[in-house]
């Protein structure tokens, strides 16, 4: 028995628009983000899930309610975004500033006290493998997690042994994501964009 685990990024948030490091801050979706999610619900073939998980942050819970209105998510702190700690709320004003910050972040060179790539990779590797194992032990063959772009990319890199620099080359649009296939021993086999 294998598992199809779909990871979906939350809709556009006010922090996304402001280019803000929001991390664990509870920022809402924008109205445009809500409308885009409604459109995506009708136009994207999201894999049918037997179980739905979500980050506890409002932008993810609201996304789950819009995209999967007939499902009640299991909310878990395991799916929270990168913890930017004292940098949360910081606005990165240009594409160059964003690129520069995340080049340092991926190399484990923190600007202050934020969670860096290596601890996030450990956290997300364990989280995704544990989620897959738990689902398989319960006989679940398809699950969806509404989460955040940062941890989604780190999780993929970790599970599939990709270079950490791929973090800055990957882009996950709001409301989109990836589908990961795990074998019956909860080993990741392959992934594809949603």
What dihedral do alpha carbons 163, 129, 179, 165 form, nearest 10°?
-10
Query: Given the structure tokens 């199809």, which residue do they identify?
Result: 4
Q: What is the distance between the alpha carbons of residues 133 and 29, in angstroms, rounded to a whole number?
A: 31
Structural domains in the chain?
3-193 (3.40.50.1240)
Residue 136 has pLDDT above 90, yes or no: yes
pTM: 0.97
pLDDT at res. 1: 82
H/E stretch holding 75 reads strand 74-75
Tens digits of residue pLDDT in 160-172: 999 999 999 999 9
Residue 5 host element (H or E): strand 3-9
How confident is the model at residue 115, as a pLDDT? 98
Q: Is the pLDDT of residue 177 over 90?
A: yes
Give tens-digit pLDDT for 37-95.
999 999 999 999 999 999 999 999 999 999 999 999 999 999 999 999 999 999 999 99
The total of other beta-carbon atoms located within 10 Å of residue 15's CB is 21
Please name the helix (run of DSSP H) or strand (run of DSSP E) that holds residue 190, with its range, or none. strand 188-193
The pLDDT of 124-134, averaged and rounded, is: 98
How far is residue 97's CA from residue 191's CA, in Å, rounded to a whole number? 30
Structure tokens belonging to residue 10: 């939350």
Distance CA 30, CA 26 (A): 13
Centre a 10 Å sphere on the Cβ of residue 97 and count the other Cβ atoms it contains. 13
pLDDT of residue 127: 98
For residue 139, pLDDT over 90 is answered with: yes
- Extract the annotated binding site: 9-16, 59
Per-residue pLDDT band at 145 (split at 50, 70, 90): very high
A 10 A CB-CB count for 171 gives: 8
**Helical segments of the chain, H only:** 14-18, 31-43, 58-67, 95-106, 117-137, 149-160
Pair of tokens at residue 165: 């620099």
What average pLDDT score do residues 92-119 get? Answer: 97
pLDDT tens digits, 1-37: 899 999 999 999 999 999 999 999 999 999 999 999 9
Binding-site residues for substrate: 9-16, 59
């Amino acid at each position: 028995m294998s598992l199809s685990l779909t990871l979906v990024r939350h809709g556009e948030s006010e922090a996304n628009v402001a280019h803000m490091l929001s991390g664990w801050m509870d920022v809402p979706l924008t109205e445009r983000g809500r409308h885009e999610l409604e459109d995506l619900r009708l136009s994207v073939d999201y894999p049918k899930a037997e179980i739905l998980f979500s980050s506890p942050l409002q932008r993810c819970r609201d996304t789950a309610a819009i995209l999967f209105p007939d499902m009640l998510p299991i909310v878990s702190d395991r799916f929270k975004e990168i913890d930017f700690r004292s940098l949360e709320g910081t606005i990165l004003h240009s594409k160059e500033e964003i690129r520069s910050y995340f080049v340092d972040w991926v190399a484990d060179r923190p600007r202050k006290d934020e969670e860096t790539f290596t601890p996030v990779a450990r956290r997300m590797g364990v989280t995704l493998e544990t989620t897959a194992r738990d689902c398989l032990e319960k006989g679940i063959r398809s699950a969806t997690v509404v989460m955040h772009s940062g941890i989604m990319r780190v999780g993929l890199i970790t599970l599939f042994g990709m270079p950490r620099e791929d973090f800055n080359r990957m882009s996950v649009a709001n409301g989109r994501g990836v589908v990961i296939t795990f074998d019956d021993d909860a080993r990741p086999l392959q992934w594809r964009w949603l």
